[in-house]
């Protein structure tokens, strides 16, 4: 309990942009997010007055942090489940709990559980020796997709295996390095979607409109809300599925279900149990943002309305450029704001390393196509300091 405000203290493990934006939502509720960060330069450590420094893999650090909080939640899924089980046994409230979180930590555990629940997932198999991958590819067709079952993000930890020879080489190298692996069928898809829901300990559920996530090299670059051209029936089925998964796994907080849209129907790719990139559009684009909803859920408050505030909302990620832009971030922001008065800009306070998510831009409007073009230009400008359409800043 915070003696100054009388509110319970939510502690988030991890000081990235998700914690930073959750802190922003906490402020509106009269609260302040406590953060376990690694460095004072972490995005959330720069803005929260209540920061402890330590590693998320260090049980003592987690315990000390938890002692100063009423409920523990996460900015990423890398806290060892065994540490969380110890904390839960010691009486710490952890949302989502370790038995739920493990499905966002381990792709093999997740695939196995979802398949058991009758949720459509790609055919998959564990890989503990080279022959496992070769056998799977021979049975299910080449190319197939090899994945690290743990530790991957933004497409790192995903490899396309073209044929048995490629499988032999790639799998041997990864197994030698101690990487836990699974292999799955390459899904032929029309596009990728995400169903974002929230669930509270009381059991209340809420879901936002289904979105399309546009990927480039395994990284989400744009989110279109609602997913253009998706039938109401398919959207509702996906929302029901995500709520069913949230309840079955006893998730508390936000759950993102990444989906492949295929001719045969929707197939689940991934789960994330925290605010997610596919939900950044909700900050300005929905009645209740995913960050506020996550806080409401972990505090067991009633959940908020999730309807969109415009017919179309587009979010474009700002990625660090391969070559540093000639113009500083301050000047780029200045020009961006001059050109787009309706752009909602979020910058995370991160160094501009190539390909890294350093911010995002959201725009609301009447139809997705023109918005998408504008959001793409705006995000590209912030990344590179160049207007893709040749716009003259002078
Ligand atoms: P990460 O956890 O690193 O984000 P994902 O499992 O989400 O990895 O995969 C990253 C991207 O790789 C997906 O967004 C998708 O574009 C592609 N991908 C993953 N699995 C498959 C699959 N079975 N078939 C086709 N493409 C896939």
From 153, 185, 217, the end of a domain falls on 185
**Would 114 be classed as within a structural domain?**
no
The answer to whether the CB of 145 is under 6 A from ligand 1 is yes
The C-alpha R_g of the chain, in whole angstroms, comes to 21
- Residues 203, 170, single domain; the answer is no
Mean pLDDT over each residue of the chain, to the nearest integer: 96
What does the pLDDT look like over 331-340, one tens digit per residue?
Answer: 999 999 999 9
| CA–CA distance, 204 with 211 (Å, rounded to integer) | 22
Q: In which band, very low, low, confident or very high, does the pLDDT at 393 lie, cut at 50, 70 and 90? A: low
**Would 389 be classed as within a structural domain?**
no
Of 107, 136, 137, 155, the residue with max ligand 1 atoms within 8 A of its CB, to mutate for a pocket test, comes to: 155
User: What's residue 134's pLDDT?
Assistant: 97
The answer to whether the CB of 184 is under 6 A from ligand 1 is yes
The answer to whether the CB of 219 is under 6 A from ligand 1 is no
Mean pLDDT across the stretch 250-262? 97
C-alpha closest to that of 369 among 309, 314, 310: 314
Of 136, 159, 218, the residue with max ligand 1 atoms within 8 A of its CB, to mutate for a pocket test, comes to: 218
**Would 104 be classed as within a structural domain?**
no
Report phi then psi at 10, rounded to 5. -90, 125
From 139, 163, 185, the end of a domain falls on 185
- Label each residue of 18-80 as H, E or C: HHHHHHHHHHHCCCCCEEEECCCCCCCCCCCCCEEECCCCCHHHHHHHHHCCCEEEECCCCCC
Domain range for 143: 123-185
Give the closest residue (by CA) to ligand 1 atom 23. 186
State how many domains the chain has: 3
- Residues 197, 138, single domain; the answer is no
- Residues 201, 181, single domain; the answer is no
User: What's residue 394's pLDDT?
Assistant: 64
- Residues 157, 220, single domain; the answer is no
In order of 29, 81, 148, 219, the CA distances from 179 in angstroms are: 42, 18, 6, 21
The b/e string for 95-109 (b: 16+ C-beta within 10 A; e otherwise) is bbbbebbbbbbbbbb
From 150, 165, 185, the end of a domain falls on 185
What does the pLDDT look like over 103-129, one tens digit per residue?
Answer: 999 999 999 999 999 999 999 999 999
Q: In which band, very low, low, confident or very high, does the pLDDT at 156 lie, cut at 50, 70 and 90? A: confident
Give the closest residue (by CA) to ligand 1 atom 16. 218
| CA–CA distance, 290 with 67 (Å, rounded to integer) | 26
- Residues 375, 280, single domain; the answer is yes
Give the closest residue (by CA) to ligand 1 atom 13. 218
Residue 370 CA to ligand 1 centre (angstroms): 28
Residue 159 CA to ligand 1 centre (angstroms): 9
The answer to whether the CB of 215 is under 6 A from ligand 1 is yes
**Would 4 be classed as within a structural domain?**
no
In order of 214, 221, 326, 388, the CA distances from 224 in angstroms are: 8, 10, 30, 20
What does the pLDDT look like over 180-225, one tens digit per residue?
Answer: 999 999 999 999 999 999 999 998 999 999 999 999 988 999 999 9
User: What's residue 47's pLDDT?
Assistant: 97
| Ligand 1 atom closest to Cα of residue 185 | 23
What does the pLDDT look like over 45-89, one tens digit per residue?
Answer: 999 999 999 999 999 999 999 999 999 999 999 999 999 999 999
- Residues 177, 199, single domain; the answer is no
Sheet holding 158-161, edge to edge: 124-127, 181-185, 144-148, 158-161
The answer to whether the CB of 151 is under 6 A from ligand 1 is no
What does the pLDDT look like over 161-186, one tens digit per residue?
Answer: 999 999 999 999 999 999 999 999 99
Whether pTM > 0.85 for this model: the answer is yes
């Amino acid at each position: 309990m915070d003696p100054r405000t009388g509110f319970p203290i939510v502690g988030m493990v991890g000081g990235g942009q998700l914690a930073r934006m959750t802190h922003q939502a906490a402020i509106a509720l009269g609260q302040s997010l406590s953060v376990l960060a690694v460095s004072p330069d972490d995005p959330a450590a720069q803005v929260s007055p209540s920061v402890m420094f330590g590693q998320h893999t260090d049980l003592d650090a987690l315990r000390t942090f938890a002692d100063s909080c009423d409920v523990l939640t996460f900015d990423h899924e890398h806290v060892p489940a065994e540490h969380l089980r110890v904390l839960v046994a010691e009486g710490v409230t952890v949302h989502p709990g370790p038995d739920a979180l493990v499905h966002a930590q381990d792709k093999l555990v997740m695939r196995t559980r979802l398949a058991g629940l009758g949720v459509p997932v790609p055919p998959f198999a564990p890989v503990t020796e080279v022959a496992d991958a070769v056998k799977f590819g021979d049975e299910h067709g080449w190319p197939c997709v090899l994945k690290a079952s743990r530790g991957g993000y933004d497409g790192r930890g995903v490899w396309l295996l073209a044929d048995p020879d490629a499988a032999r080489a790639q799998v041997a190298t990864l197994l030698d390095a101690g990487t836990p692996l699974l292999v799955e069928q390459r899904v032929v898809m029309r596009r990728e979607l995400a169903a974002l829901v929230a669930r509270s300990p009381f059991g209340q559920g809420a879901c936002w409109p289904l979105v399309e996530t546009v990927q480039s090299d395994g990284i989400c670059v744009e989110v279109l809300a609602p997913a253009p051209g998706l039938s109401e029936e398919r959207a509702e089925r996906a929302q029901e599925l995500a709520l069913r998964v949230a309840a079955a796994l006893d998730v508390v907080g936000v759950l993102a279900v990444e989906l492949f849209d295929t001719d045969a129907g929707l197939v689940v790719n991934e789960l994330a149990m925290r605010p997610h990139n596919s939900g950044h559009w909700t900050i300005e684009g929905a009645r209740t943002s995913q960050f506020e909803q996550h806080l409401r859920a972990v505090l067991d408050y009633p959940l908020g309305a999730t309807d969109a505030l415009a017919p179309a909302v587009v979010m474009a990620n700002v990625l660090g450029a391969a070559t540093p832009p000639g113009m500083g971030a301050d000047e780029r922001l200045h020009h961006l704001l001059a050109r787009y008065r309706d752009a909602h800009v979020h910058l995370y306070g991160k160094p501009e390393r190539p390909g890294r998510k350093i911010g995002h831009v959201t725009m609301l409007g009447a139809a997705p196509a023109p918005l998408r073009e504008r959001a793409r230009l705006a995000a590209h400008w912030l990344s590179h300091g160049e207007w893709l359409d040749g716009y003259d800043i002078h």
